[in-house]
Amino acid sequence: MSWAEHLGLRMAQAQQQSLLRSHTRLATPQRVDTQINGHSVLNFSSNDYLGWASDEFTIQALKRGADRYGVGSGASHWVVGHSGAHDDLETAVADWLGVEAVALFCTGYLANLGVISALADADTLIHQDRLNHASLLQAGTLAGQSRRFGHADVDQLRRRLARGHDRRQWVVSDGVFSMDGDVAPVQAYVDAAGAAGALCLIDDAHGLGVLGDQGRGSTHGCNPDLIMGTLGKALGCGGAFIAGAGWLVDAIRQFSKPYTYTTAMSPALAYAAAENIRRLRTQPHHQAKLRSNIDYFRAQAIARGVDLMTSDSAIQPWLLGSNERALAASERLKSAGLWVSAIRPPTVPAGTARLRIALSAAHTQSQLDQLCDGLVTCIPG
Ligand code: PMP
């Protein structure tokens, strides 16, 4: 079969299963109040949890960063791409999270690939929560010996760690699960890993800025060996970091190809991200507003009969089951001016398609009321 026939067949199959994706062209994709094709919509699909991706503070910080350091880094970290802005961001993250060392990556996806491939070898056994983000799962697959344990099943994890006692082991999990919104049993994972002499890596892409004192996330107080954080979600910028003990981060820097062979993140963006970390630490009302929006939305939606999944984070999914049902609900909401993404396999397991409602500190109560009104019209049956 030729390439064209082969790919044509795959596309047709995906189309049949309602699995083809299309780009959404919101006028300002991160703003809560935006337009599509000239029509107003309220956006409940962005990971811009604090509403910082396009606010004045971040824009001004980016401009100052560009004035001071330029836009492009011009080279990889080990060549000449690592500037004072990168140093400052590393220090800001280390102070914030109380860790010894931090290394920067261009995206969270690349950080997960870069960290796991840097440390894992043929002797390493990687235990992954089965609902981990695609980047962790793919990194595990590329590394070889990666196994998924039951979601949040600490007993199963302990049994597997005991069985693998003669190997170098690694426990890897999302801190907040990106499509479910629930928080991992981080302390139990850290303890289980520690007792077995394993490393523990928590990807806190959706916890940082949202949970914990000063937005320190789901790992605050738990001290995993490594924390992966993204700067493109609550922090409103882009890029990512790995944080942990100096001996670990040094090894990652030395052995990670996605660290070594990529142009370093934009120094202007690094500067803006550091400014937003300082803002997060000194202006707690942003995080508090997000918290009150989460509590308000859950109370209102549940009171109106919307069967939300259990979640304490800014990700509030509503499980609808079939792809068709999730797509139909998303379309109905769209026609009411409410933008909520339908999430389908392979992003989530087959039969668990859902609406993924993402909340922001920038939403007003009346916008949350409008969302609840729309959701009620989608209640099955
Ligand atoms: N980890 C998790 C849990 C995520 O949800 C995402 C992005 N959706 C990533 C990593 C990748 O981060 P980035 O978007 O910075 O590549």
Could you identify the atom of ligand 1 that is nearest to the CA of residue 177? Answer: 3
Pocket test for ligand 1, best of 106, 109, 218 (most atoms within 8 A of CB): 109
* pLDDT at position 373 over 90: yes
Q: Is the CB of 186 within 6 Å of ligand 1?
A: no
As a whole number, mean pLDDT of residues 238-252 equals 98
As a whole number, mean pLDDT of residues 231-236 equals 98
CA gap 135, 146 in Å, rounded: 13
Residue type, 360: S
Closest CA to 19 of 318, 339, 324: 324
CA gap 72, 93 in Å, rounded: 21
Cβ-based neighbour number of residue 57 at 10 Å: 14
Q: Is the CB of 109 within 6 Å of ligand 1?
A: yes
pLDDT (tens digit, 9 = 90+) per residue, 59-94?
A: 999 999 999 999 999 999 999 999 999 999 999 999
Could you identify the atom of ligand 1 that is nearest to the CA of residue 47? Answer: 8
Contacts 24+ apart (CB under 8 A), 280-285: 280/50, 280/96, 280/209, 280/214, 280/215, 280/234, 280/235, 281/96, 281/214, 281/215, 284/214
**Do the beta carbons of residue 355 and residue 343 sit within 8 Å?**
yes
CA of 205 to the centre of ligand 1 (A): 6
Q: Is the CB of 133 within 6 Å of ligand 1?
A: yes
Q: What is the pLDDT of residue 22?
A: 81
Q: What is the pLDDT of residue 23?
A: 82
Closest CA to 357 of 343, 378, 336, 376: 343
CA of 110 to the centre of ligand 1 (A): 9
* pLDDT at position 55 over 80: yes
pLDDT (tens digit, 9 = 90+) per residue, 248-275?
A: 999 999 999 999 999 999 999 999 999 9
- CA torsion sign, 52 to 173 to 138 to 254? positive
Closest CA to 289 of 55, 24, 94, 64: 55
Closest CA to 96 of 270, 243, 252: 243
Could you identify the atom of ligand 1 that is nearest to the CA of residue 239? Answer: 15
**Helix (H, G, I), strand (E, B), or coil: what is residue 330?**
helix
* Cα angle for residues 200, 144, 245 (degrees, 5° grid): 25
Report CA-CA distances (Å) from 334 to 41, 304, 375. 8, 20, 11
Domain coordinates in residue numbering, the chain: 25-54+284-377, 57-282
Q: What is the pLDDT of residue 134?
A: 95
Domain 57-282 is in which class? alpha beta
**Residues whose CB falls within 8 Å of the CB of residue 93, separated by 6 or more in sequence, listed in order:** 99, 102, 229, 241, 243, 277
As a whole number, mean pLDDT of residues 299-315 equals 97
**Do the beta carbons of residue 338 and residue 309 sit within 8 Å?**
no
Residue nearest ligand 1's atom 13 by CA: 108
Q: What is the pLDDT of residue 381?
A: 75
* Cα angle for residues 197, 254, 137 (degrees, 5° grid): 55
Q: Is the CB of 178 within 6 Å of ligand 1?
A: yes
CA gap 182, 205 in Å, rounded: 13
Q: Is the CB of 232 within 6 Å of ligand 1?
A: yes
Token pair, residue 156, equals: 């199963």
DSSP states of 93-107 as a string?
Answer: HHHHHT-SEEEEESS
Q: Is the CB of 205 within 6 Å of ligand 1?
A: yes
CA of 8 to the centre of ligand 1 (A): 29
CA gap 316, 337 in Å, rounded: 19
Q: Is the CB of 240 within 6 Å of ligand 1?
A: yes
CA of 337 to the centre of ligand 1 (A): 27
Classified by CATH at the fold level, domain 25-54+284-377 comes out as Aspartate Aminotransferase, domain 1 (3.90.1150)
pLDDT (tens digit, 9 = 90+) per residue, 4-54?
A: 999 999 999 999 987 788 887 887 877 888 888 888 999 999 999 999 999
